[in-house]
Every structure is written in structure tokens, then in C-alpha cells.
């Protein structure tokens, strides 16, 4: 999907959220499992609100682990 179209959305599935954030879908799934990223479940598959992605990204460390 075109990135500009993604940025206009209110919520994303795991694959879209990963693409938008530049990480793998596994990173998004692990963040959801840990409770670091809040997902909604309109069906059996999670979606993540754009505002929640922004909050999650703002909370990520600015240095790599171990530094």
C-alpha cells in the first residue's frame, strides 16, 4: 500500500503498522503481547490506532540496548 495512503488512516493492521513504523510485524506483535502497544480487536485480528502508534514510538529508547 502507498505510504501516503497509510498515513491518512486512523487504524492499522499489524502488517500496515509495521510498514509505517519501519519495523517487522514481529516487533509490533511482541509490543502488543507485552502491553507496550495497545491493540483493538474488532475481529480476531488486532488493529492499532494511529495515535497509539505515535505514543509507542515516542516512548521507545533513543539509544540501542546496552549503551
pLDDT in tens, 2-30: 556 667 789 999 999 999 999 999 999 99
- pLDDT (0 to 100) of residue 65: 84
What are the φ/ψ torsions at residue 44 (nearest 5 degrees)?
Answer: -75, -10
CATH code 3.40.50 for 3-59: no
* Residue 37: C-alpha distances to residues 1, 12, 16, 67 (Å): 22, 12, 14, 24
pLDDT in tens, 23-54: 999 999 999 999 999 999 999 999 999 999 99
Q: pTM here?
A: 0.85
- State how far Cα 43 lies from the chain centre: 17
Q: Rounded distance, CA 67 to CA 47, Å?
A: 33
Mean pLDDT, the chain, rounded, equals 91
Give domain limits for the chain.
3-59
Amino acid at each position: 500500500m502507498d505510504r501516503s495512503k497509510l498515513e491518512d488512516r486512523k487504524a492499522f493492521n499489524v502488517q500496515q503498522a509495521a510498514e509505517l513504523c519501519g519495523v517487522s510485524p514481529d516487533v509490533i506483535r511482541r509490543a502488543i503481547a507485552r502491553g507496550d502497544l495497545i491493540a483493538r480487536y474488532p475481529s480476531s485480528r488486532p488493529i492499532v490506532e494511529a495515535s497509539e502508534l505515535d505514543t509507542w514510538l515516542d516512548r521507545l529508547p533513543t539509544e540501542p540496548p546496552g549503551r
